[in-house]
Chain A
Amino acid sequence: MANPVLPQQSQTRPMTGTGLKAALAVAAGKLSAQLIKVFKIGSGTSLPGKVALKVDADLLQKLGRQVRHKSVAITGTNGKSTTSGLLSSFLENGGFKIANNQLGANMFPGITAALLQKSNLNGNLAVDYAVIEVDEASMPAVSKAIKQDLTLVTNLFRDQLDRYGELDTTAKMIRKGIEQSGGMVALNADDPMVTSIGASLPADRVIYYGVEFVNYPAAIDLDFPVGFPHEVTDCPLCQAPLQYSKILYGHLGHYACPACDFKRPVPWVSADQIDVSATQSRITFRVGEQSVSPVTLQLPGLFNAYNFMAAATAGAWLEVPPERMGDSLQSYHSIFGRAEKKQIHGKNIMILLIKNPVGAAEVLKVVTADPKRRLVILINDNYADGRDISWLWDAPFELLAQMPNPITVSGHRAEDMAVRLRYAGIPAEQIKIQPEVMTALYDAVDQTHADETLYVLPTYTALLQISQALKSR
Chain B
Amino acid sequence: MKLTLGHLYPDHLNIYGDRGNILALYQRAAWRGIEMTVKGLGPGDPVDPDEVDILFIGGGQDTQQVKICADLQGVKQKGIVESAASGVVMLGICGGYQLMGHYYKPHDGDKLPGLSLIDAYTVAGSKRFIGNVSIRRPDGSTVVGFENHSGLTYLGEGVAPLGHVLTGYGNNGSDGMEGAVVGNLYGTYLHGSLLPKNPALADEMLLKAIQRRYGTHIALAELPEDTLEIKAHQKALAFKA
Residues of A bordering B, CB below 8 Å? 158, 161-162, 166-168, 225-230, 232, 234, 239, 387-394, 415-416, 418-420, 422-423, 425, 428, 431, 433
Closest to B22 in A: A226
Quick check: B20 and A393 within 8 Å, CB to CB? yes
Interface centre among A226, A387, A391 (most CB of B within 10 A): A226
Give Cα A388 to B232, complex, Å: 15
Closest to A357 in B: B17
Shortest 6 CB-CB contacts between residues of A and residues of B: A390-B17, A393-B20, A393-B17, A229-B14, A415-B232, A166-B61
Give Cα A425 to B64, complex, Å: 31
Give Cα A232 to B65, complex, Å: 12
Question: Can you name 28 A-B residue pairings with CB atoms under 8 Å?
Answer: A161-B15, A166-B61, A166-B62, A168-B63, A225-B38, A226-B19, A229-B11, A229-B14, A229-B19, A232-B61, A387-B131, A388-B16, A388-B148, A390-B16, A390-B20, A390-B191, A392-B20, A394-B19, A415-B231, A418-B228, A418-B232, A422-B229, A423-B24, A423-B196, A425-B27, A428-B228, A431-B228, A433-B231
Give Cα A394 to B19, complex, Å: 7
Q: Which residues of A contact B196 (CB under 8 A)?
A: 393, 419-420, 423
Q: Is B76 an interface residue, CB under 8 A from the partner?
A: no
Q: Is B164 an interface residue, CB under 8 A from the partner?
A: no
CB distance from B13 to the nearest CB of A (A): 9
Within 8 A of A (CB), among B1-32: 10-11, 14-20, 22-24, 26-27
Quick check: A239 and B11 within 8 Å, CB to CB? no
CB distance from A409 to the nearest CB of B (A): 10
Q: Which residues of B contact A161 (CB under 8 A)?
A: 15-16, 148
Q: Which residues of A contact B229 (CB under 8 A)?
A: 419, 422
CB distance from A303 to the nearest CB of B (A): 21
CB distance from A232 to the nearest CB of B (A): 7
Q: Is B225 an interface residue, CB under 8 A from the partner?
A: yes
CB distance from B231 to the nearest CB of A (A): 5
Quick check: A415 and B235 within 8 Å, CB to CB? yes
CB distance from A24 to the nearest CB of B (A): 38
Total contacts A to B, CB within 8 angstroms? 99
Give Cα A167 to B63, complex, Å: 10
Quick check: B63 and A423 within 8 Å, CB to CB? no
Interface centre among A388, A420, A428 (most CB of B within 10 A): A388
Residues of B bordering A, CB below 8 Å? 10-11, 14-20, 22-24, 26-27, 38, 40, 61-64, 67, 130-132, 146, 148, 191-193, 196-197, 225, 227-229, 231-232, 235
Q: Which residues of A contact B14 (CB under 8 A)?
A: 229, 394
Give Cα A418 to B228, complex, Å: 7
Quick check: B27 and A423 within 8 Å, CB to CB? yes
Extra contacts besides A228-B19, A234-B67, A387-B132 (9): CB < 8 Å: A166-B63, A226-B23, A387-B146, A388-B148, A388-B191, A390-B146, A393-B17, A416-B197, A416-B232
Interface centre among A225, A389, A393, A418 (most CB of B within 10 A): A393
Quick check: B23 and A393 within 8 Å, CB to CB? yes
Give Cα A387 to B128, complex, Å: 14
Q: Which residues of A contact B130 (CB under 8 A)?
A: 162, 387-388
Closest to A435 in B: B235
CB distance from A240 to the nearest CB of B (A): 11
Interface centre among A167, A225, A425, A433 (most CB of B within 10 A): A225
Give Cα A324 to B41, complex, Å: 52
Q: Which residues of A contact B192 (CB under 8 A)?
A: 389-390, 416
Quick check: B19 and A393 within 8 Å, CB to CB? yes
Closest to A415 in B: B232
Interface centre among B26, B130, B193 (most CB of A within 10 A): B193
CB distance from B204 to the nearest CB of A (A): 18
Quick check: A415 and B228 within 8 Å, CB to CB? yes
Give Cα A392 to B225, complex, Å: 21
Give Cα A394 to B18, complex, Å: 8
CB distance from B8 to the nearest CB of A (A): 13
Give Cα A387 to B193, complex, Å: 13
Give Cα A17 to B131, complex, Å: 46
Quick check: A393 and B193 within 8 Å, CB to CB? yes
Give Cα A420 to B14, complex, Å: 17
Give Cα A122 to B213, complex, Å: 78
Give Cα A394 to B14, complex, Å: 9
Give Cα A389 to B191, complex, Å: 10
Give Cα A428 to B225, complex, Å: 7
Q: Which of B11, B15, B63 is A230 in contact with, Cβ under 8 Å?
A: B11
Give Cα A220 to B228, complex, Å: 29
Closest to B131 in A: A387
Q: Which residues of B contact A226 (CB under 8 A)?
A: 19, 22-23, 26, 38
